Amino acid sequence: MEQISGILNINKGEGLTSHDVVGKLRRILGLRRIGHTGTLDPGATGVLVVCVGQATRIAQYLEAMEKSYVAELVLGTTTTTEDRDGEILQTKPVAVTEKQLEAALSKFRGPIQQLPPMYSAVHHKGRRLYELAREGQVVAREPREVTIHKLELREFQSPVAKIHVECSKGTYIRTLCADLGAELGTGGHMGKLVRTGVGQFSLDDAVSIEAVEIAKNEGKLEKFLIPMGQGLASWPVVQVEEEGARTVANGGKIPGASVGMVRIEDRAGTLLALARCEDGICQPVRVFH
């Protein structure tokens, strides 16, 4: 029963891992071929983009999309995990003004270097960092460049600041909070976290797992399933006629004026393939029909 394909914009509840969400959806839909496109910690809520059926073949492209969040920065307390779930390491008094906080935020906009936290899924010599952290180990990690496209102060009632973040793939918001606390000299950690968007997928349009189950039972699942092509709506489109569609179906190259990754669609708007274009030629890298 692998005919179900598309993208689900799930509003993940608190207390669930991203893997839990996938497991529940596999049970509801009766499918194994389901995967998420960017982990949300159990304490975080909001947008979790889930690929179903053939859509799992575009998961890597969806995962690369920019993310947006609203987070609580709690000043004065540092924790082992850089968030509210960790053990408290240190507390300091907080006498930070809104002006000082704004000045600190300005230093973290644009490309920045971030040290992956020990409690993360980054690999180190074949093991996850969080596995080592649970054993009490701390290992050397290499900083990674991430980009903070937008960082705004929404509200500040000391010691808690609510911040809005738009960032590149791979950004750790809890590390950003810890680094902001260090910059201000008070220390800090992340409180609540809500992912408000992934690319074009918005929290306003996200649906609960329960809503998906009801729709499936009523035979109305299609109202929540987003077509693959629509999931990559920001990509340029190369449209082909019947002959071009046959060429693409066999993995053959076609002419195209765009440069970079494109969607190849037929006249009806059906996604046929993803292709990489260069020098007027598009080479399919994922073929769907």
Question: Would you name the residues annotated as active-site residues?
Answer: 41
Burial class (CB in 10 A: 0-12, 13-18, 19+), 99: exposed
Q: Of 68, 129, 108, which Cα lies nearest the Cα of 188?
A: 108
Expressed in angstroms, the distance from the first to the final Cα of the chain is: 18
Q: Of 287, 283, 267, 274, which Cα lies nearest the Cα of 232?
A: 274
Q: For the packed helices 98-106 and 173-184, what is the interaxial angle rounded to 10 degrees?
A: 120
Concatenated DSSP letters of 203-236: GGG-B-HHHHHHHHHTT-GGGTPBPHHHHTTTS-
Cα–Cα distances (Å) from 149 to 30, 105, 161, 188, in that order, read 39, 12, 19, 22
- Measured distance CA(224)–CA(205) in Å, rounded: 10
**Cis peptide leading into 42, omega within 30 of 0?**
no
- Measured distance CA(54)–CA(231) in Å, rounded: 13
What phi, psi does 226 have (nearest 5°)?
Answer: -95, 125
CA angle at residue 58 from 32 to 45, to 5 degrees? 70
